[in-house]
Amino acid sequence: MFSVPTEMPAADRARWLAEVSEALEEARLVLTSLPLNDENYDLASDLHVRIEAARFEVRSLRLSRSVQARDENDPKWMKFAPWSDANRG
């Protein structure tokens, strides 16, 4: 597959993931518009599965990046329950 560059600013990373997502959607639309016969059906089916897997991976990366960004900005006290040992003392 591919990996998301981690050293880019969050806005650039989000834009990059959006571009990848758009390209995968275009590929999916092109593939589904092709006339298929018995000879190329298996190949097209395999390609469709790969495109869908990549789309889900990009979606997962977009969600994990948004959650990760929020976690980095949370105050430390939010990471502990009030009854945990970390808050005593």
- Asked if residue 50 is part of any domain, the answer here is yes
pLDDT score for 85: 59
pLDDT score for 10: 84
Residues of the chain with confidence (pLDDT) below 50: 70-71
Q: What is the DSSP string of 2-33?
A: ----SSS-HHHHHHHHHHHHHHHHHHHHHHHH
Domain hosting residue 24, numbered range? 10-74
- Asked if residue 85 is part of any domain, the answer here is no
pLDDT score for 78: 52
Total of domains in the chain: 1
**pTM exceeding the 0.75 threshold for the entire prediction:** no
pLDDT score for 4: 55
pLDDT score for 22: 97
In angstroms, rounded to a whole number, what is the distance separating the alpha carbons of residues 20 and 15? 9
